[in-house]
């Protein structure tokens, strides 16, 4: 999982830069990145990073991490990303978490990685909540704790995070950390399977897994139980998943 997450975060970095670069030096740095001029982007961002701007610190950290326009320097990357992360910059926190938890990383530090995921999760980031829940479910790095996993998955699921919805459905299906409830499992699989994917591979994969799980659980339920589960899903959609369990 860490390698997959790290690749996802690199993609989020580029998307984030393009989306947030709307005016002034950020727009200039974005233009430099678009034409492949990492060193130009670095020259623009360093003065802002030194003055304490979190977005600039994040960009500088990522350029050092990737060796884009500058010699790759993981120590410098961690320094700048940490400055941004301490300011509450979610993408910096997520990048640090992925870096520290990557088994192939020279900066491998499980405790630090989980700490950064926790910061992002506590700030309300649905992806961080999902990943943290997965670590608790798997018992990998963290001690296995299905109750805590369910709590994190539930928070993310209510934010339309399809993988968290699938994971929560799996817990209800197996009775891990929650009382076994096949109808509620079917409900969450149904919600996840029908969540908008926007052709995003991560979301498409979650929706596909949920559709398959819904079919399996559906084979264990009576027609009236399936109808009740579908009604629960409809009611959840109607209130934008608020308070859905």
Q: For residue 114, what pLDDT is reported?
A: 98
What pLDDT, on the 0 to 100 scale, is given for residue 196? 84
pLDDT digits (tens, 9 = 90+) for 139-168: 989 999 999 999 999 999 999 999 999 999
Residue of 218, 235, 123 whose CA lies nearest to 169: 218
Evaluate whether 148 touches 121 at the Cβ level (below 8 Å): no
Give residue 23's pLDDT.
58
Q: What are the angstrom distances between the C-alpha of 168 and each of 65, 163, 192?
A: 34, 9, 10
- Asked whether the beta carbons of 127 and 5 are under 8 A apart, the reply is no
Low-confidence ranges of the chain (pLDDT < 50): 1-15, 18-22
| CATH numbers and ranges of domains, the chain | 1-123 (1.25.40.10), 124-245 (1.25.40.10)
Whole-number pLDDT of residue 136: 98
pLDDT, tens only, 67-95 = 999 999 999 999 999 999 999 999 999 99
């Amino acid at each position: 999982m860490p390698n997959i997450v790290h690749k996802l975060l690199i993609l989020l970095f580029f998307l984030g830069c393009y989306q947030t670069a709307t005016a002034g030096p950020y727009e200039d740095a974005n233009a430099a990145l678009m034409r492949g001029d990492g060193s130009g982007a670095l020259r623009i961002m360093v003065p802002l990073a030194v003055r304490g701007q979190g977005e600039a610190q994040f960009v500088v950290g990522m350029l050092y991490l990737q060796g884009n326009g500058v010699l790759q320097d993981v120590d410098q990357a961690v320094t700048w990303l940490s400055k941004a992360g301490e300011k509450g910059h979610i993408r910096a926190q997520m990048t640090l978490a992925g870096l520290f938890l990557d088994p192939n990383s020279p900066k491998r530090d499980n405790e630090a990685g989980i700490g950064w995921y926790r910061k992002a999760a506590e700030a309300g980031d649905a992806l961080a909540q999902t990943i943290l829940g997965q670590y608790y479910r798997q018992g990998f790095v963290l001690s296995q704790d299905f109750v805590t996993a369910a709590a994190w998955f539930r928070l993310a699921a209510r934010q339309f995070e399809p993988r968290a919805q699938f994971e929560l459905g799996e817990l209800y299906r197996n009775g891990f950390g929650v009382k076994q409830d096949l109808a509620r499992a079917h409900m969450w699989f149904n919600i996840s399977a029908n969540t908008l994917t926007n052709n995003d591979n991560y979301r498409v994969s979650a929706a596909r897994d949920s559709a398959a799980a819904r079919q399996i659980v559906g084979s264990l339920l009576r027609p009236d139980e399936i109808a009740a589960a579908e009604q629960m899903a409809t009611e959840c959609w109607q209130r934008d998943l608020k308070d859905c369990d």
